[in-house]
A and B are shown apart, each in its own frame.
Chain A
Amino acid sequence: MADESPEPNGSNSENSAVELLIVEDDPVLRLLIRNLLEGEGYSITEADNRLKAIELLKSNQNFAAVLLDLGLPPVEHSTTEGLAVLQMIQDSLHPAKVVVLTGQDEEKSALAAIRAGAFDFLSKPSKSEDILNAVNRALMFYQNERALAQEGLTLLQINAKVGDGLKAVREEAEEKLVKQVLKDTNFNIYQSAAKLGLKRESIYYFLKKFGIRRDDS
């Protein structure tokens, strides 16, 4: 973790518009993290398991960042449940940045989390300062991405195996971009085609090719 503090994220009153989600099964730890982040003025929502977290993320696209524990019930001592939340965030193209804070085996879970698209990884125990720095950095990226999106730019994150070659990367990029545009246009084929500079038939072709359904976008 770098020592430099990120730019302050504005005053506390400005932060109150920033919504954060804490996914942590330990109620007492959740309380203390909530205190910490509320102290910075953020608006906090809590979830203690995967299903609740996914339900909240689906119903609220405004979460800017998620502080995620990987070990969630019923398998608190494995990373399965936390990684499933992370995967859902990636698959649904939720704009929130995920900061993982976990007590699992450090090296293995850090690698798995980064692969699954986590923005940052902190291992327990972490200092308040480090947690705040990571959250603030995530928010800075979130806000920059939002600004870019308003200019029509989309950031695509692709995990590529070099051995798979360029075709695999191109296809993943195509899929993500089409999904993103469909999501932005609320699944409007006409608008999506216009945005991507394609014919409508091409959009239908991609829908079929990648098996995209309205629920996925």
Chain B
Amino acid sequence: MTIADLYPYLILVGSSIILAAVWLLAQARMRARISNELVSLNESLAFDLPDFLRNCWEQLAKAGFQGIDWQLNWFGTEISHSEGERGEVIIERELVVQDITLRVHLYDSKRRFEQRYFSALVAESFFLLLYTDMWMKLGTVQGAFTQAAKMSVFLQHDMKNVVQLISLLAEQLENSKAEEEAKLLDSVKVVIPTLQERSESFLRSLSQQHAAEEKRPISVASAIERAAQIHNLEIELAGDGLVAINEQSLNSICDNLFGNYVDERVSYPNDPFQLQISINETGNELEIAISDVCGRPCINPERLFEPFWSAKGSSGLGIGLYQARQLVGAGGGTLTASAEADKPVKFVIKLPKFGEM
């Protein structure tokens, strides 16, 4: 027998291997597509576990499963559902994440070799999605509660100050002696605008709605100077320009930004301090750059605008810069921070020039 006699057999074996490889590849692609479809379905249902469970059968059936049943305890409510038939093989999983418990049975036919692995691959992807949904739900719920609790503590504290103000003022008005009336009137002139400003600030903290969209040309330099004066900050200001943004919003943006520098001054009173602010026109925009050029580098620059994260830990509400960024965004601009290693943070606000909106 010569080697030439073996050719037909070699060709047959080779072809078989190629065909098997192509078939396996097609099978793998099909499972990958099904897994992707499950991911997309989950995303389209906003990662809602009960909805996902109710709608996933079509994809699982495509993957060759014979049936599914599940029992879900969703924050104390029991729900269950089944689709398809009971097969010979059961793939069972129980997932528990605090107040959510899920028991799933996937029914499969008896499979051999590679089919068993393909089936397990889809099942595991499916279980992983379920588990992720459970954690996402829990994270959202806990996050909302934590934020609400934190907000409530802060608002309560500030509200107590306001009530204390009103109560002292009312008592002083009631008990005022004739010779003290001028002094009292001076106090009233200071207290009433402060109360108004704080009440508005509460409302702003509690709602995403911003003050009426009344837009007149406002000098950025004047707003910055006024805010710096209120916060008793020395600044080096260069340039000016007019923007069309709600005046209260602009004041609020300046207040929130300067508040951080005031905190720094109190925390590190012996540090040098040089707050440089430049206002420049760039095309249709006004660019306001703010930086304490002698300041310390920021340790967590990625957290600067994250709501409810504060460098002051639980002592800070963590919405100052977040709110500033939202307000700049609502005014058609952008607020960014550049934080290079070993350099102080530089805030850059870009706002449309007046008449360019």
Contact = CB atoms under 8 A, between A and B. Distances in A.
A117 interface: no
A2 interface: no
A125 B160 contact: yes
A31 B186 CA distance: 10
B168 A128 contact: yes
B315 A26 contact: no
Given A28-B191, A128-B168, A35 B184 contact: yes
Among A71, A103, A123, the one with the most B-chain Cβ atoms within 10 Å of its Cβ is A103
A105 B194 contact: no
Interface stretch (A75-83, A136-144, A207-215): A75-83
Contacts of A28: 165, 190-191, 194
Given A51-B266, A74-B312, A80-B315, A128 B172 contact: yes
Interface string B316-328: 1100000000000
A127 B167 contact: yes
Category for how many chain A residues contact B: 20 to 34
B164 A124 contact: yes
Interface string B181-213: 001100100110010000000000000000000
B171 interface: yes
Interface residues of B, number: 35
A29 B165 contact: yes
A217 B329 CA distance: 56
Interface string B299-323: 0000000000000101111000000
B355 to A, nearest CB: 38
A80 B267 CA distance: 12
A29 B190 CA distance: 10
Among A28, A76, A104, the one with the most B-chain Cβ atoms within 10 Å of its Cβ is A28
A49 interface: yes
Contacts of A73: 262-263, 266
A29 B164 contact: yes
A35 B169 CA distance: 10
A36 B168 CA distance: 8
A126 interface: yes
A29 to B, nearest CB: 6
B157 A77 contact: yes
Interface in B12-67: none
Contacts of B167: 125-128
B165 A78 contact: no
B161 A26 contact: yes
Q: Is the interface of B mostly helix, strand, loop or mixed?
A: helix
Given A73-B266, A74-B266, 9 more contacts: A35-B172, A73-B262, A77-B153, A77-B154, A78-B314, A103-B156, A103-B161, A125-B160, A125-B166
Contact of B164 (A71, A78, A103, A104): A103
A131 to B, nearest CB: 8
Among B172, B187, B266, the one with the most A-chain Cβ atoms within 10 Å of its Cβ is B266
A10 interface: no
21 contacts: A26-B161, A26-B165, A28-B191, A29-B161, A31-B187, A32-B187, A39-B180, A73-B262, A73-B263, A74-B264, A74-B312, A75-B312, A75-B316, A76-B157, A103-B160, A105-B153, A125-B163, A125-B164, A125-B166, A127-B171, A128-B172
Nearest to B265: A74
Interface in B60-89: none
A193 interface: no
A33 interface: yes
Among B156, B164, B184, B187, the one with the most A-chain Cβ atoms within 10 Å of its Cβ is B164
A51 B316 CA distance: 20
Given A39-B180, A125-B163, A127-B171, A32 B316 contact: no
Contacts of B172: 32, 35-36, 39, 128
B283 interface: no
B190 A31 contact: yes
B8 interface: no
Contacts of A74: 262-264, 266-267, 312
B307 to A, nearest CB: 16
A32 B180 contact: no
Contacts of A26: 161, 165
A107 to B, nearest CB: 14
A32 B317 contact: no
A66 B183 CA distance: 24
B42 to A, nearest CB: 39
Contact of A124 (B163, B180, B194): B163
Interface string A80-108: 10000000000000000000000111000
